Structure 1
């Protein structure tokens, strides 16, 4: 795995392209400037304090059912024009989308994303990000917003790799995890502190459910 730990967006994107082609996932640290990362974390907390984050369901949005035994995060979807920090993040994700299309010919048409807040003790059991009746989600993207995260606090995203190995990704602010949605089972382990992220999907063109 190539790991780019520098604030060079183009270099990090190049690493992501190589990693996805070679192994189907990529982890980059310090993906965007700390000032933007901090602003996004503050935006998430502001929305949570205003009661705008709601408990996430399971399934496509119109049919989603809350299942506390499967996942315990609270979310709100991003829309363009909601805040300057969110618009900057969406612009970076669009740069990533275009670069992946150019290099890997994935046919990615758009990006959807939401804030995700896991209260202490919340988790998300092992799952895939691709719906059974809708294959538009092609690449999963998780950007973490938690400053000074310590391993003993838990909260890792655990990847179940094709060779049977497990790989834990700590939700440290500035880290970006990218993986192929249909091929990477994963789970979120409980933490002892509040856990914030932006979770999203780069999607292919869709014509409705399969």
Structure 2
């Protein structure tokens, strides 16, 4: 059960900000404290300066309850807007409708802002604060399972301007782990998208010889296998390429379970018990995660997303 601060798809406030429900003053104080965390991250993180801006509905907050047996499957909290348009199943959140609204003509006939013009926002940093006293992770379950990369990234993750990350090139003995981004603004006869890898010095290298059209292949059955064959041109790059997220179709249930080391062998698992007072922060784009089933008790948390503006490089 979720008590949100607002509904992105509707543009309306949620029960979190309703002064007639529960202890609204405590929620306001908590919101102010998390706004301080957001401002600190805007100063300390690479290229996240717009986190500090407090626009309308740019900080999602919610109060969540997991009953005994409840869980949440592996997912990421934000995806590239071009992929959301390519297939609605890939959206992963309600920001798909936010982005569609920003790229549609206004009723008056004038052009509304398009994604990437600085007026659209996206989920940038995911946060959780756990509220469970005397929680026994072995007996009560409910841990947050984070699927991290085993090797550190050689370059900043998540986004480069309006280009969001969609995958990785696995680290080798001679080259570090490289984040792979999708540029959806390339001119080309066959499409507008291109994959490229980013390096520590800020340079990039295209992985696609020619622009292509955004495809649900990036999120549907087949995962790395089809993405490597269809979207990455050089065999040496294809062998290293891994999508951030798992496949998202009914066929996924027929595939072998993903091992702890991930589909490409480049992941590792970190389990975080939901102990009262624990604060968790991670990038909303590049970190897959899940919630393991609770067992004996109800599990309570506050969770949310700090938004940043989508800016062209």
| Structure index of larger Rg | 2
Q: Does 1:199 align with 2:292?
A: no
**Deviation (angstroms), 1:188:** 0.2
Aligned counterparts of 1:143 and 1:77: Cα–Cα separation in 2: 19
In the alignment, does 2:146 pair up with 1:159?
yes
In 2: Cα distance, 1:160 partner to 1:148 partner = 26
CA RMSD of aligned residues (A): 2.6
Residues 38-77 of structure 1: per-residue CA shift (max 9 Å, x gap): xxxxxxxxxxxxxxx5699xxx8538xxxxxxxxxxxx75
SS at match of 1:91: helix
State the distance in 2 between where 1:160 and 1:78 align. 30
Q: Deviations over 1:12-39 (max 9, x none)?
A: xxxxxxxxxxxxxxxxxxxxxxxxxxxx
Provide closer, same or farther for how the CA distance between residues 112 and 103 of structure 1 changes in structure 2, counting only shifts above 3 A: same
d(CA) in 1 for partners of 2:59, 2:33: 11
Map 1:2-13 onto structure 2 (within 5 A): none
Q: Which has the higher helix share?
A: 1
> Given that residues 3 and 15 in structure 2 are in contact (C-alpha distance below 8 angstroms), is that contact kept between their aligned partners in structure 1?
no
Give 2:284's aligned residue.
181
In 1, Cα distance between the equivalents of 2:18 and 2:307?
17
Q: TM-score, normalised by structure 2?
A: 0.41
- Determine whether 1:100 maps to 2:41: yes
The match for 1:84 is 25
Q: Deviations over 1:78-98 (max 9, x none)?
A: 228561111111011111111
- Alpha-carbon distance in structure 2 between the residues aligned to 1:54 and 1:197: 10
- Judged with a 3 Å threshold, the aligned counterparts in structure 2 of structure 1 residues 131 and 166 are, in CA distance, closer, same or farther, namely same
Gaps of 5+ in 1: 1-52, 64-75
Q: Which structure would you say has the larger RCO, counting Cα contacts within 8 Å and 6 or more residues apart?
A: 2
For residue 136 of structure 1, the aligned residue among 106, 122, 129 is 122
User: What does residue 117 of structure 1 align with?
Assistant: 65
Q: Is the 8 A contact 1:80 1:87 kept in 2?
A: no
Aligned mates of 1:92, 1:126 — CA distance in 2: 29
1:145 equivalenced with 2:98 (yes/no): no
Partners of 2:3 and 2:59 in 1: CA distance? 21
Deviation (angstroms), 1:100 = 1.0
Distance in 2, matches of 1:206 and 1:113, equals 20
